[in-house]
Every structure is written in C-alpha cells, then in structure tokens.
C-alpha cells in the first residue's frame, strides 16, 4: 500500500504498524521499501531478467568488512 497508494496510508495503517513496530523500525522499513522499489524500477527499465547480471559477492554497502 505504501508504494502503490501512499494516500491510503491513513491513521488506521499507522496504528496497525505501531502495534508491532517502533517508529524507528517503521522508518527503517520505509527506507528498505523505497530502496527495493527503486531497484525494481531500474531493473524493469533496463529489461533485466533473473540472473542476467551476475553479482559480485565482494560488493555491498560496506565492502571493506567483507575483505577482513
């Protein structure tokens, strides 16, 4: 809902989320959704199929930690 119909995220939705998550966790969840949604839009725009772009297991947000 937050991606497809953001206006639909009324107080009922936020209250439901707060039953299970803290505000910090809701922000983290929203950030993850935004990142994932953005990645999916790029993949769709580039018409990339599953497995067409090989991953680098050394890549990541903190590659220096993976080397240790």
Distance from C-alpha of 39 to C-alpha of 1, rounded to nearest angstrom: 18
Domain that holds residue 40: 22-48
What local confidence, expressed as pLDDT, does residue 67 receive?
55
Number of domains in the chain: 1
| pTM (predicted TM-score) | 0.61
Question: What 3-state class would DSSP assign to 29?
Answer: helix
d(CA 27, CA 34): 10
Label residue 25 by pLDDT band (50, 70, 90): very high
CA dist., res. 1 & res. 8, Å (int): 7
| DSSP for residue 17 | H
Q: Let me know if residue 2 belongs to a domain.
A: no
CB 1 within 8 A of CB 9: yes
28 part of a folded domain: yes
């Amino acid at each position: 809902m937050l991606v497809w119909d953001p206006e639909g995220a009324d107080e009922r939705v936020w209250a439901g989320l707060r039953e299970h998550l803290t505000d910090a966790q809701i922000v983290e969840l929203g950030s993850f959704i935004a990142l994932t949604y953005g990645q999916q839009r790029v993949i769709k725009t580039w018409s990339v199929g599953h497995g067409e772009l090989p991953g680098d297991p050394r890549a990541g947000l903190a590659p220096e930690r993976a080397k240790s």
